[in-house]
Amino acid sequence: MTDRELKNLWFKFFEKHGFKRIPGASIIPENDPTVLFTTAGMHPLVPYLLGEKHPAGNKIFDVQRCIRTGDIDEVGDDSHLTCFEMLGNWFLGTCPKEEMIALSYEFLTSPEYLNIPVERLATSVFAGDEVAPSDEVAQKAWLDAGMKRVFFLPKENNWWALGGGVGPCGPDTEMFYDTGKPACGENCSPACDCGKYLEIWNDVFMQYKVENAGEKAVKLDRPNIDTGMGLERTITVLNGAKSVYDSGCLKRAIDYIASKAGVGYLDNEKSKRSYRIIADHIRSATFILGDERGVVPSNVGQGYILRRFIRRAVNCARNIGLDTNELVNIASLYADEYGIDYADIKENKEKIKDELIKEVNKFAKAIEDGHREFDKVLNGIERHKQFAKEGEIVENKLSGKACFRLYDTFGFPFELTKELAQERGYTVDEDGFKKAFEEHQEKSRVASAGQFKGGLADASKESAYLHTATHIMLAGLRKMFGENVFQKGSNITPERLRFDFNLDHKMTPEEIKELEEFVNDVIKQEIPVVCEVMSYDKAKEAGALGVFTNKYGEEVKVYTIGNVSKEICGGPHAENTKELHHFKIIKEEASSSGIRRIKAIID
């Protein structure tokens, strides 16, 4: 089965059962400071899981591109990816557990869909504890559907919750493919790491909430069901493949690389890993570069991760004798494939190729700089020898810290540092490099908190008010500078808003003051914020502003603030402008070429 065939089966199945398809969201989260990228299928649906009404109704499904970087250094083995697609479906505001389990069983086993023999399937459900009871409803639903093996497993295996355990939560049921490996023992279950069971789907029943840590869970007034099926992993299982790189679009990329590289895919472990890193990282780069929010390589945030993807791919291309210009052709292959589901990738194909070429060329310059820095390090050792105190021994050895600086600052591969050192009669401190590298890894993991903890990161009133302020501010900017001014990105926390927009000059103090006065005047007028659900075409006819048009479905929410602002938006928002009290701009600065950034607060 190809990835395209699996997607089409998913679409066909849920349409048949009365669900409405929604477009996959941007890979760059809007107004969520907790993560750099969309890391799960549910991530863009947070407002609706918290109670907002979705324009498409309460039964929806999609395919969502995701990026996770926590395991970036594991990429190249059989299972790890930085980029993947998630198939998902949702019941919003209701939790018909038996219905969802029956649907899951049908999709997995029906000859019309995945046609997996029930003997090759197993499921797990929540065993219960002091917080919530065992999920016997789910167990019975599975048995009634026809499932033969249902395991009760503890909270660590079958419970979904936010980090810290406070807030919305609930049991889940996970579906596993039996690989046919023998059981590891009498108590072998999907909780084992023996490889007998591989998870392919997860249904989360968001039925409860915990008010305070350690307290018993109470039922949610508005429960939900959130499901997720990893496309690449499922394709691997269905095709009986050993690796996620042996099926679907990733395999097509591997095959293309093999036709152009000087070293074969399976010649050795290093070449196999290099092939896989190129296939994965260029796909991630294609998704990011093609995104509607316009990220390009840089030294901060999403741009830094993007740069790292591209530069690692370049290094791996060198390892296997692949002309780095071929990376653009691999990206083009991906753009054609994924443009079917994500319109922005199709529309931005030329931009993807142009930015990739720029970064590859820029990295070539960085490698030259790295060579110069390498020479400086060796010269420093030689000077140290020259002026060493009597009896002091100076080794011909590059410190781990120096090797890591070459790697981290100049993108200089450690293997290249080691090779050049050996040519000049030097050794390198490999253990010191590994220690510096691991310390850097740990800092990155802690700093990013980069793994999405369920996504219900922030639905505070403060954030809702600041979201409303961005609408008013954009209206003011367009009044001052013309209707060619549009939003180019935003990030909102309960403390402040950050808003990017196109403008060809730095705002003067007088212009900043004028904008502040405009927003505060609207606040003083105490204008109701009205939300209406309508078709996208009707919203355009009504003059609603919508910047990222690819992300909209057939039905959209339009927020109107008197005659000041009318925008297509998912929310959340204030109910009246008076709730914003007072608006103040803290900073106006450049974000990138032709893009300005405003940071502001309400007090």
Strands (E), 164-321: 167-178, 197-210, 218-230
**Residue linked to tokens 């490099």:** 433
Task: Select from 561, 563, 562, 558 the least CA-distant residue to 537.
Answer: 558
How far is Cα 564 from Cα 580, in angstroms, rounded to an integer?
Answer: 15
Query: What pLDDT score does 153 carry?
Result: 96
Its pTM surpasses 0.85: no
Q: What pLDDT was estimated at residue 457?
A: 47
Please answer whether residues 382 and 426 qualify as being in contact, where contact means their C-beta atoms are separated by less than 8 angstroms. no
Q: Give all strands of the β-sheet with 487-492 in edge-to-edge order.
A: 487-492, 497-502, 595-602, 583-592
CATH 3.40.50.970 fits 3-244, yes or no: no
Look at residue 322 in the predicted model and tell me its pLDDT.
Answer: 95
- Give the amino acid at 259: S
Please report how many Cα atoms fall inside a 13 Å half-sphere around the Cα of residue 377, on the Cβ side. Answer: 26
Question: Looking at the chain, which residues constitute the CATH 3.30.980.10 domain(s)?
Answer: 461-602
Sign of CA dihedral 69, 72, 76, 78: negative
Measure Cα distances from 245 to 248, 339, 516, 554, 602 in Å: 8, 20, 53, 35, 49
Radius of gyration of the chain from Cα atoms? 27
Cβ count within 10 A of residue 323: 12
Distance in angstroms between the alpha carbons of the first and the last residue of the chain:
56
The CA dihedral of 490, 492, 498, 499, to the nearest 10 degrees, is: 30
Helices (H) and strands (E) in the chain, counts: 18, 18
- Give the C-alpha separation, 186 to 359, whole Å: 54
Buried residues in 567-587 as b, exposed as e (16+ CB within 10 A): bbbbbbbbeebebbeebebee
- The vertex-102 CA angle with 97 and 108, nearest 5°, equals 125
- Whether omega before 223 lies within 30 degrees of 0, making that bond cis, reads no
CATH topology of domain 461-602: Threonyl-tRNA Synthetase; Chain A, domain 2 (3.30.980)
3-state secondary structure 550-577: HHCCCEEEEEEECCCEEEECCCCCCCEH
Distance CA 572, CA 534 (A): 17
Task: Kindly state the tokens that stand for 142.
Answer: 């599975």
What is the per-residue pLDDT for 283?
A: 97
Query: What residues of the chain score a pLDDT lower than 50?
Result: 446-457, 548-550
CA quadruple 191, 193, 196, 198: dihedral sign: positive
Supply 105's token pair.
């069983």
**Virtual torsion, Cα 292, 280, 330, 245, nearest 10 deg:** -130
pLDDT of residue 590: 87
Write the pLDDT tens digit of every residue in 308-364.
899 889 989 988 999 999 999 999 999 999 999 998 999 999 999 999 999 998 888
- Residue pair 122/109 in contact (Cβ under 8 Å)? The answer is no
Q: Which residue has the tokens 């069971």?
A: 197
* Residue 460 to residue 467: CA distance in whole angstroms: 11
- Would you state the pLDDT for residue 118? 96
CATH 3.30.930.10 maps onto the chain at: 3-244
Q: How far apart are CA 259 and CA 300, in angstroms?
A: 35
